[in-house]
Amino acid sequence: MWQSYDPALVREELRVLADHGLTMTRSFFYWPHFMPEPDRIDEGCAARYGDFLEAHVEAGLTTIPTLLVGHMSGENWDPPWRRGRDLYGDVWMVARQAWFAEQMARRFSGHPAVAGWLISNEMPIYGERERSAREAVTSWASLLVQGLRAGGASQPISIGDGAWGIEVTGNDNGFSVRDLGAIVDFLGPHVYRMENDMVRQHYGAAFICELTGFLGKPVVLEEFGVSSAFVSDENAAHYYRQVLHNTLLAGATGWIGWNNTDFDLIHQDPYRHHPFELHFGLTTTDGRPKPQLVEMARFARLLADIDVLGCEREPADAALIVPSYLEGAFPFTEVEDRSYLFTTLRQAYIAAKEADVPVGLTRERDGIAEDCRLVLLPSTKQLTAPTWHLLERLASEGAVVYASYCHGTHGSQRGPWYAHLDAMFGVEHQLRYGMVDPIEEAQAKLTFERPFGTIAEGTTLAFPVAGTEHSRAYLPVRPRGAEVVAVDQRGRP
């Protein structure tokens, strides 16, 4: 773009966005063009970016510049002088990146169109490592933030990594949300998950925002969107509407749709080999607004009507526990435990939404909130011993603690990691060492032997059974003081 810049076209595209109530864009310093040599900025690209900023002022918009753009839309690009150097651990390479950050800040940080800064565009992908060292990544990010500040940047800064770290996804990619959150001003999830359930699809981004917000920093949904290659116009509008409203209720305070317009660059990489990337725009190639942009406009009007800056979230009276095992905090635990926790927590969050239960996430590692009347601990294999005892105390003091059982999704140390289970539930479990008690039916049918909330005695509920050979299991118990609420089709409590 910066070597074939069309100022008139840029101004027309910005006008369309502004006419639909959008207030800012995200812009990108394509690194190979902006920094063709390790100690030189391409002044032509910089000048054109300066005009781009002026166009924003004319349109009444602001923008967030993104520094290290070595990845986008299905391809990575290096400046020619990198020559395979480690982006995080090579001291000279890190210094060059920090110098670039400082130079861009010196040129543009004083411009009224600059609203914030992002260090990268999805750096975990550009870094080309399955796992990077957490300490090296955090140090790298800290030095680049310092580079921006040294260049005069006073605006909010974030990393642009997508918030894909272990605290959110259970996958340790080195980009710790907890560590990076200490050096940035806001956190920016990128969410493009594909699901097999419509409700889960519509709440997916909201759940990610909830998981990301545990540090108290603002959460901006930094990237979300759909390609028209994958979804009809009508359903694209539905998706945008659901994501925007659900993430607002989940605490998000900003939204950046990907992206402003469709492209006609069929012969240019990466669009040549990832052609669906041509059609993520809010407008078509001829500037026609898509239904997604209309939804953004409606959402902008809603935010103004409710005076969103004067709104606060009501404290939740129900807590969903995020076990510390999601963050891989303990030795000799399995990766599968973390991925299982993510999917289970997400489904529990969605079930609470479906039940119209305002629920907040409370992280075991940071201390369980003790002021909620309802505590949810769904399908749990692992929780630390002190937390189990805390939950017993909360229940004895009047809280309702919902805890359910899971055998585990793999063969290592199957079973509940809590020896006090019998006393807590008023049962005597009948587990056999090393064995699975499988659910053999395609459906689990529960018949209620007594009223349970709004469920009448005699009601039967049926649920499809899924899971691995390890997790498709039930907990055999004998009541020892517990009230049997329901039994399965074999009469088991």
- Cβ neighbours for 394, distance < 8 A, ≥ 6 positions apart: 370, 375, 401
Distance CA 479, CA 492 (A): 10
Q: What 8-state DSSP symbol labels residue 428? A: E
Does residue 132 share a domain with residue 247?
yes
- Please report, for the domain that includes residue 16, its CATH number: 3.20.20.80
pLDDT (mean) for 324-341: 90
pLDDT (mean) for 352-361: 94
Amino acid at residue number 83: R
Does residue 108 share a domain with residue 197?
yes
- Confirm whether 487 is domain-assigned: yes
* Candidate from 25-39, 249-263, 398-412 with smallest mean pLDDT: 398-412
- Confirm whether 471 is domain-assigned: yes
Residue 363: per-residue pLDDT: 96
Does residue 191 share a domain with residue 50?
yes
pLDDT (mean) for 391-408: 93
How far does Cα 390 stand from its chain's mean position? 29
Domain boundary among 295, 310, 325: 310
Distance CA 257, CA 222 (A): 7
Domain boundary among 293, 310, 327: 310
- Contact by Cβ (8 Å): 70, 76: yes
Does residue 460 share a domain with residue 394?
no
Does residue 382 share a domain with residue 477?
no
393-to-319, 370, 382, 390, 402 alpha-carbon distances in Å: 15, 10, 18, 5, 14
Does residue 406 share a domain with residue 274?
no
- Cβ neighbours for 232, distance < 8 A, ≥ 6 positions apart: none
Residue 109 has pLDDT above 90, yes or no: yes
Give me the percent of the chain exceeding a pLDDT of 90: 89
- Confirm whether 2 is domain-assigned: no
Residue 131: per-residue pLDDT: 64
Helix (H) / strand (E) element for 75: namely strand 75-76
Helix (H) / strand (E) element for 402: namely strand 400-405
Per DSSP, what are the bridge partners of residue 25? 63
Residue 455: per-residue pLDDT: 96
- Confirm whether 306 is domain-assigned: yes
Does residue 196 share a domain with residue 139?
yes
Does residue 156 share a domain with residue 175?
yes
- Confirm whether 381 is domain-assigned: yes
pLDDT (mean) for 177-185: 98
Does residue 279 share a domain with residue 207?
yes
Of the ranges 126-130, 349-353, 419-423, which is most confident? 349-353
* Candidate from 113-122, 181-190, 329-338, 449-458 with smallest mean pLDDT: 329-338
The sign of the dihedral angle between the CA atoms of 237, 241, 244, 247 is: negative
β-pair type (157-158, 117-120): parallel
Does residue 152 share a domain with residue 89?
yes
Q: Is residue 415 very low, low, confident or very high in pLDDT (cuts 50, 70, 90)? A: confident
Residue 130: per-residue pLDDT: 60
Nearest residue to 447 via CA among 489, 397, 414: 489
Distance CA 114, CA 104 (A): 11
Overall number of domains in the chain: 3
Structure token pair of residue 60:
């009444």
How far does Cα 469 stand from its chain's mean position? 29
Residue 492: per-residue pLDDT: 96
Residue 139 has pLDDT above 80, yes or no: yes
How far does Cα 174 stand from its chain's mean position? 16
What are 143-174's pLDDT values in tens digits?
Answer: 999 999 999 999 999 999 999 999 999 999 99
Per DSSP, what are the bridge partners of residue 447? 460, 487
Burial class (CB in 10 A: 0-12, 13-18, 19+), 354: exposed
Residue 15: per-residue pLDDT: 98
Nearest residue to 344 via CA among 366, 365, 360, 326: 326
Mean pLDDT of the chain: 95
Q: Assign 3-state DSSP to the chain and report helix, strand, coil percentages, each to 5.
A: 35, 20, 45
The DSSP annotation for 6-58 comes to -HHHHHHHHHHHHHTT--EEEEEEEHHHH-SBTTB--HHHHHHHHHHHHHHHH
- Confirm whether 380 is domain-assigned: yes
Does residue 256 share a domain with residue 394?
no
Domain boundary among 375, 409, 424: 424
Per DSSP, helices labelled H in 213-285 are 233-249
Residue 52 has pLDDT above 90, yes or no: yes
Structure token pair of residue 260:
């402003």
Dihedral of the alpha carbons of 54, 117, 165, 314, in degrees to the nearest 10: -90
Does residue 359 share a domain with residue 475?
no
How far does Cα 456 stand from its chain's mean position? 39
Range of 472's domain?
A: 426-493
- Confirm whether 363 is domain-assigned: yes
β-pair type (318-322, 359-363): parallel
- Cβ neighbours for 251, distance < 8 A, ≥ 6 positions apart: 209, 210, 213, 219, 313
Residue 129 has pLDDT above 70, yes or no: no
Q: Phi, psi (5° rounding) for residue 330? A: -130, 150
Distance CA 454, CA 147 (A): 59
Q: Strand runs (DSSP E) across 284-392, as ranges? A: 318-322, 359-363, 374-380
Distance CA 308, CA 113 (A): 22
More confident call, 132 vs 145? 145
Cβ count within 10 A of residue 124: 22
- Confirm whether 1 is domain-assigned: no
- Contact by Cβ (8 Å): 137, 162: no
